[in-house]
Structure 1
Amino acid sequence: MFPTTQTESTILPARTLYTNATVFTANGSPAEAFVVEGSEFVHVGGEAGARRAAGDGAMEVDLAGGFVLPGFVDAHTHLLMMGQALQKVQLRDAVDLTDLQHRLREAAAATDTQRILGAGWLYSTLAGEQPTRKLLDEAVPDRPVYLDANDLHSVWVNSAALAEMGITRDTPDPIGGRIGRDPETGEADGMLYETAAQQIVWPALAAHATDEDRDAQLEEAFANYLAVGVTSAVDMAVQDDDLAAFRRALDRRNGTLPIRVKGHLLVARHESEADNLAQVAKAAWLAAELHSDWLQICGIKLVVDGVIDSCTAAMKEPYADGSSAEPIWDRESLIPVVAAADAAGLQIALHAIGDEASDIALDALEEAYHRNGPRDRRHRIEHLETVTEANVRRLASLAVVASMQPVHADPAIQDNWRSVLGDHRCERAFPWTEFTDAGATLALSTDAPTAPHQPLANMYVATTRRSALEPALEANLPKYALDLADALSHATRDAAYSCRAEDRQGRIAPGYLADFTVLDSNPLQADAAQLLTNRARLTVVDGTTAYDAGTSADSRLAPRGQRLNQPA
């Protein structure tokens, strides 16, 4: 039986023997038992050897045939945004515009909050109709409505929201972004793309939230992650509000957190190179200040382009409608920032979805290598949804990590993605195995809340290329599907490598931190569909039980006794 979780996390004796399990070590050799002393694994192997290593007086935990694996490392996520999204009107599964409007009306009727916030809407829900403020006015005319697109790269708002933000026909577009406008009148049409969302909408909403709101949202993210076996996360767009929330969470727990967090400071593009470089200097200062087992600022994040769904990703060839999108960061502006961050020893994560964007990102990294000389860098390119074969090889030769999200390839959200490209590029979409075949390190993550945060659903898409949202749909380019054991390693061992944590995280091996999760059943011996029903029944962080499904039927328990609501 599992250790009992009371109102505080179970802190086990100095040495604990875990038996009766199948142990996926992500280290090349399976095991059936292991010993934890304090916060570390001290022995992993067969039961007899583990018993000898545990010695007299050790507590024994019978795992009842469970499947043990290293805690998942979500190598690209947005913690505060994830907690916020879980509290918004859920729109990802809205079947059509009528359904979406109905959900907004219901939300407005059920609450007297000043604003209606929604998350996850898909362009395909509109069946070719353009998202406009008027469509939202039909549902909620009297209160501001703010709806995050599924990819978080655009926000759809109603007329009341535009008025609240003071956006008029004369409001200029920010660098790298666009305010959607009616082609006849020039008035704002209710869509804000890329940096218009990041630099106008996000700060406006942040101004209406309190620190208490943000603390609750962060706790919501922590608890949801623990309930699905995630023990570490890399936040890929850290800003001042995120950082302040992390600091408060540390203070509440005397310097610890429920999961381990690494962060990349979001660097926004400005006209002035000096302003851009000042953000790099800030990241370097924070990296020196925040460097513990629980919270580190390890680098910067640069959003080189947009996304394919809204035709803002930088592509080498036009979209199906003949349009093209410029990158948010061109080579001239990007190279000085990348070179400075590289010289400062920071990790650089470059969002590059379009094939032209990955060209720009790799050019900037190559120039930084040339200027600053050889060393272990561990830079990353995020998403890589379309990429040339030449750049797959170039990425591998530069030892750049391919950071990718299987859930973005879910067939249920691909209709609009494929239609706006409409050509040969659809046949090499999300080519995960091309990167591994070329010798690159592939780190898998979810990019929550742009996709569901559950790692087992992510593994299902990775290993089948089928939909975790609508499993009956046909697979999306199954030639790129991953072996499940490989996918699990990419989401644990390689995800830890992607954030320079491979010496202590991502494996079950002596000397590694005792961060692990126990699933109900062995997914390697079951049909892939069972990944959608399998569950984490125990999550241990730093040798301490952080989540136990057996004692958390009515509540999730975060470490240090923080009670939260039922998982979404």
Structure 2
Amino acid sequence: MTTLLRRVRIVAVTRPASSAEPVDVRIENGQVTAAGDLSPEPGERVLAADGRWLIPGLWDQHVHLRQWAQARLRLDLSGTTSPGEVIARVRDRLTDRPAVVVGAGFRPATWSAQPTTAELDAVTGAVPTILISGDVHAGWLNSAAQRWLGVPARPGVLDENAWFTLLPRLEELLATDVDQAYRLALADAASRGVVGIVDLEFEDGYRAWPERFAAGIDAVRVRTGVYADGLEDVIAAGLRTGTPLDASGLLTMGPLKIISDGSLNSRTARCCEPYADGRYGTQNYPLDELIRLLGRAHEAGLHTALHAIGDAALTTAVDAFEATGARGGIEHVQLARLEEFDRMARLGLRASVQPAHLLDDRAVTAQV
């Protein structure tokens, strides 16, 4: 099937600059095949653009799609500035008598007081309550939720690896109409001009996504990543970055994802200088383990998406790429020593940057 777009103005992504003169554009089987003054062909669908701008399809190179899809089903904790504000929203949700309370979006790094299990228990009692931080690097659980999930009693939040190991089981227990949540999320993304995503969710995506595509959840192209605990299974399945995972050609194997340090809003990003509380953050994977994982992935034909937010973590990440010759890039790159950019360029590494984090994290980086 072909589509003719009449009178569009094309936004150029390379020089020369975009042209303000409208043209016609023909699309065949998802590919632009002609542009200029075109006449409709028999049976061709014709869409009048009336001078609207035409841009290349957008890719989001770093998505945790299940988290985003289910966020609309959870208690919104964004914008809260203290444990008390969070507790107030939780108290309001409890008036609906839920079996479980799940919230997301709180960012406690700049709060004058940090969350405690005891204050959450005082309001929630026996109702399991799981509150997920806005950066998904920490969880605030009441005692009932800790027992429900088999977590040793803890006075405050769980973060980094202690939290990440819980996420797959947590998502399984909290699953509602997950397929519908995915449909709505992908439809929303497509309506904004997104044509593809790299999904770095905590799951066996190479198994889950073919099932979703078979169920018609296929509004955008998907590259699905794998974490270290699933790396050997992916290699045993003979999958490499770019391997098609279904017959459509829209679903492919993506990178090995490694979260080498934490985040700024959890004050766990590994930094060269201390935070206001004197800590330097968390290096989730030491250099020797990163070298082992990147080397293994590289041998098997998998690229690596290596999360590094703190400047100390970035140096370690670049060291690992340099030692192995692995391909791929570094996720976030929020804090950096300038000399690391020269090394990244020399090694051919991309920087996958999310500008929204400038707003999320600037208050934390300004603290002294």
TM-score, normalised relative to structure 1: 0.59
Change (3 A) 1:65 1:104: farther
Change (3 A) 1:244 1:64: same
One-letter amino acid of the counterpart of residue 93, structure 1: G
Distance in 2 separating the partners of 1:134 and 1:356:
34
Matches within 5 A, 1:207-222: 207-210=172-175, 213-222=177-186
| SS in structure 2 of the partner of residue 409 of structure 1 | helix
Distance in 2 separating the partners of 1:60 and 1:258:
21
Q: Which one of 276, 296, 302 corresponds to residue 320 of structure 1?
A: 276
Distance in 2 separating the partners of 1:282 and 1:93:
44
Matches within 5 A, 1:246-261: 246-253=209-216, 257-261=218-222
One-letter amino acid of the counterpart of residue 171, structure 2: A
Q: Partner of 1:529 in structure 2?
A: none
One-letter amino acid of the counterpart of residue 108, structure 1: L
Q: Partner of 2:86 in structure 1?
A: 100
The answer to whether the 8 A contact 1:43-1:50 is kept is no
One-letter amino acid of the counterpart of residue 129, structure 2: V
One-letter amino acid of the counterpart of residue 192, structure 2: V
One-letter amino acid of the counterpart of residue 87, structure 1: L
Q: Which one of 401, 415, 439 corresponds to residue 363 of structure 2?
A: 415
The answer to whether the 8 A contact 2:239-2:253 is kept is no
Q: Partner of 1:457 in structure 2?
A: none
The answer to whether the 8 A contact 2:206-2:253 is kept is no
Distance in 2 separating the partners of 1:399 and 1:155:
36
Q: Deviations over 1:162-218 (max 9, x none)?
A: 12223335xxxxxxxxxxxxxxxxxx1131111111112x133234245x6322222
Change (3 A) 1:209 1:277: closer
Q: Is residue 341 of structure 1 aligned with residue 289 of structure 2? A: no
| SS in structure 1 of the partner of residue 210 of structure 2 | helix
Q: Is residue 36 of structure 1 aligned with residue 1 of structure 2? A: no
Q: Deviations over 1:20-66 (max 9, x none)?
A: 3322142435353311123221113xxxx3325x5566443111332
Q: Is residue 116 of structure 1 aligned with residue 101 of structure 2? A: yes
TM-fit CA distance, 1:277:
6.3
| SS in structure 1 of the partner of residue 255 of structure 2 | strand
The answer to whether the 8 A contact 2:83-2:114 is kept is no
One-letter amino acid of the counterpart of residue 43, structure 1: A
Q: Which one of 76, 85, 91 corresponds to residue 90 of structure 1?
A: 76
Q: Partner of 2:287 in structure 1?
A: 331
The answer to whether the 8 A contact 1:267-1:279 is kept is no
Query: Percent identity at matched positions?
Result: 28
Distance in 1 separating the partners of 2:95 and 2:136:
26
Q: Deviations over 1:110-141 (max 9, x none)?
A: 2x4321111111115x7311111123224322
Higher relative contact order (CA 8 A, sep 6+): 1
The answer to whether the 8 A contact 1:315-1:324 is kept is yes
The answer to whether the 8 A contact 2:65-2:201 is kept is no
Q: Partner of 1:139 in structure 2?
A: 123
Q: Cα RMSD over matched residues?
A: 2.5
Q: Is residue 129 of structure 1 aligned with residue 129 of structure 2? A: no
TM-fit CA distance, 1:305:
0.7
Q: Partner of 1:310 in structure 2?
A: 266
Unpaired stretches in structure 2, ≥5 consecutive residues = none
| SS in structure 1 of the partner of residue 85 of structure 2 | helix
The answer to whether the 8 A contact 2:231-2:256 is kept is no
Q: Which one of 78, 101, 105 corresponds to residue 64 of structure 2?
A: 78
Unpaired stretches in structure 1, ≥5 consecutive residues = 1-13, 170-187, 269-275, 423-568
TM-score, normalised relative to structure 2: 0.89
| SS in structure 2 of the partner of residue 65 of structure 1 | coil
Matches within 5 A, 1:285-434: 285=239, 288=243, 290=245, 293-369=249-325, 377=327, 379-410=328-359, 413-419=361-367, 422=368
Distance in 2 separating the partners of 1:144 and 1:417:
33
| SS in structure 1 of the partner of residue 313 of structure 2 | helix
Q: Partner of 2:47 in structure 1?
A: 61
Q: Partner of 1:481 in structure 2?
A: none
Greater mean deviation of Cα atoms: 91-100 or 338-347 = 91-100
Distance in 2 separating the partners of 1:70 and 1:215:
28
